[in-house]
Chain A
């Protein structure tokens, strides 16, 4: 009769199986440990406009050829100024849409006359390069209604945002996807889905 203890392979198999279970428990344990503090939602990158200093890094440091950061307008806090410090160069002779008067290097801001003395400013995101010049102007002399925001239809949501890495004011942070809107004014409180507005 063969004694089962004679077989050294059995012992090796037992050890192996035990270590296998142990490794499984370790992986499960680590996963369980971090799941305790996890979010079912994905995290996305966003800029806090109150920390942003408009250094122009957003325009050059995104992994995309065209930055996923755009200038976004909170109309609810805009003063609709005729002399808009986000639209016009400082010390302009005339307040009009002439190219030499405009602050935006790519002409992405559209100025529309509403009524005396108000003008509406809208941003063409196709053109905007996120240089933040208008944001700086608006924050310095206006209400701060223009602000830089990560646009989530463009953003690749890199595990580590390369703009965030270079942001000198550390205005970038990971926020839950459903609360990714950090805009000022009423726009920051509500969500208008892109498909609801055609």
Chain B
């Protein structure tokens, strides 16, 4: 029993010495035991992270599904195949991979890697960011059609679509630009990944999320039964990049396999409002007033850009709150000035760490400065996008026939079946296959 008492004495000494120490550092207060029995120390199991080759399997599956989606949409022109691939993507990228890794979130990893040299981005994140964009440059947004699990899960719940009126759709289509801009601003300043924080569907893929995110996801899915793919059209930040790429794509799905006779049968077929209607040659205004308006908008463009740049950079105080150092610095300042009597976990932890608060204030000021600068860029970008939208509205583009809008079309292959020439094509295919049987 004397050893036990000895133990006690040591503990009392240690207690006296370090009663106020909050350091979590390793301290050999007690020597390694000298076991007399044949006791062996158990081994601590260290479960490994997911093996690297499985990460590359994901990239492989991404390339295969993208190739298949492009083949199904452009060559086979089969909605059925697209649908089956969509189900596969929801199962694989959604429920199996649980919504992570995804191309939408990879925007932030790439941004962080560009601005923070200490962050060594995983190669798979770069590939997930770049490969769908490259595919879109060749074939249009076939990634949205059947590969992206977020798009697929919304596509599967469309029951009966209501057309969103043009002016509203045009107005709401600015939201993705704001979302993208904010995501890049926050990621570049290491203030967090908002796209991942507000991913509405990852909770379903994992069967668990915070209450608010479940509510958001559910309401988006419910809304999605009538307003088709609301996230893709009015929120998705990756969709902005895909839209740009798709406008320049070398090939793109066409509604008709051969020619368009403006029969208008496909007019209401697109749930996403991505079919450009043929204009009926009715001019409401004279050409002169058109040109005058365009000239005014072009002259106003630099002013719009500067103004919105100024407005967003003015918001840098609010925006930089998202950075943990800035919000901590503000809390500390409030406490130092005696404006707040209750301390928070963060401020207590900071004070216990013994770092001087001046250092933190300096850091916070530096971050705010970067946010002010970033605000100018973000505002300028949004102003530019807004002006482009205005210019687009005032330019009357000749639209001789019904065609898919290359920017917003998801290549979902729904409209094909509405085209009489497509029906003819299918029938002739059918005939050949019957003939071949004989």
Please report A residues at the B interface, Cβ cutoff 8 Å: 16-17, 19-20, 23-24, 27-28, 30-31, 33-35, 37-44, 49-55, 57, 63-65, 72-77, 79-83, 85, 114-118, 120, 122, 139-144, 151-160, 162, 165, 168-170, 174, 176-177, 180-181, 183-185, 187, 191-194, 197
Q: Which residue of B lies closest to A136 (CB)?
A: B24
14 contacts across the A-B interface (CB closer than 8 A)? A23-B244, A41-B122, A65-B208, A72-B44, A79-B30, A80-B30, A143-B27, A143-B29, A156-B206, A160-B192, A168-B349, A177-B49, A183-B46, A194-B48
Please determine whether B208 and A64 come into contact, CB atoms closer than 8 angstroms.
yes
**CB of B77 to closest CB in A, whole Å:** 23
Please determine whether A38 and B113 come into contact, CB atoms closer than 8 angstroms.
yes
Which residue, B11, B48, B192, has most C-beta atoms of chain A within 10 A? B48
**CB of B55 to closest CB in A, whole Å:** 5
**CB of A14 to closest CB in B, whole Å:** 13
Please determine whether A38 and B120 come into contact, CB atoms closer than 8 angstroms.
yes
> In the bound complex, how far is the Cα of B48 from the Cα of A44, in angstroms?
10
Q: Which residue of A lies closest to B245 (CB)?
A: A23
B52, CB-defined interface residue at 8 Å:
yes
B338, CB-defined interface residue at 8 Å:
no
Number of A-B contacts (CB under 8 A): 223
A-contact 0/1 string along B18-62, CB 8 Å cutoff: 100111111111111101110101111111111010010000000
Q: Which residue of A lies closest to B23 (CB)?
A: A139
Chain A residues contacting B193 (CB-CB under 8 Å) are 159-160
Indicate whether A43 sits within 8 Å of B192 (C-beta atoms), given known contacts A28-B130, A31-B129, A156-B98. no
Please determine whether A118 and B130 come into contact, CB atoms closer than 8 angstroms.
no
Cβ-closest 7 pairs across A and B? A79-B30, A153-B47, A168-B349, A160-B193, A34-B113, A177-B49, A152-B49
Indicate whether A77 sits within 8 Å of B26 (C-beta atoms), given known contacts A37-B113, A159-B100. yes
Chain A residues contacting B108 (CB-CB under 8 Å) are 159-160
Indicate whether A152 sits within 8 Å of B48 (C-beta atoms), given known contacts A83-B8, A115-B35, A169-B349. yes
Chain A residues contacting B24 (CB-CB under 8 Å) are 49-54, 139, 144
Indicate whether A82 sits within 8 Å of B4 (C-beta atoms), given known contacts A35-B123, A168-B349, A194-B47. yes
Provide the main secondary structure of the chain A interface.
loop
Chain A residues contacting B14 (CB-CB under 8 Å) are 141
Q: Which of A39, A65, A81 contacts B7 (CB 8 A)?
A: A81
Interface size class on chain B is 35 or more
A-contact 0/1 string along B300-339, CB 8 Å cutoff: 0000000000000000000000001000000000000000
Query: Restricting to B119-135, which residues have a CB under 8 Å from any CB of A?
Result: 119-124, 126-127, 129-130, 133-134
Q: Which residue of A lies closest to B47 (CB)?
A: A153
**CB of A15 to closest CB in B, whole Å:** 10
Please determine whether B47 and A158 come into contact, CB atoms closer than 8 angstroms.
no
Chain B residues contacting A65 (CB-CB under 8 Å) are 208
Chain A residues contacting B248 (CB-CB under 8 Å) are 16, 19-20, 23
Chain B residues contacting A152 (CB-CB under 8 Å) are 47-50
Please determine whether A35 and B126 come into contact, CB atoms closer than 8 angstroms.
yes
Please determine whether B44 and A75 come into contact, CB atoms closer than 8 angstroms.
yes
**CB of A93 to closest CB in B, whole Å:** 14
Please determine whether A30 and B110 come into contact, CB atoms closer than 8 angstroms.
yes
Q: Which residue of B lies closest to A41 (CB)?
A: B52
> In the bound complex, how far is the Cα of B35 from the Cα of A35, in angstroms?
52
> In the bound complex, how far is the Cα of B353 from the Cα of A19, in angstroms?
53
B418, CB-defined interface residue at 8 Å:
no
B90, CB-defined interface residue at 8 Å:
no
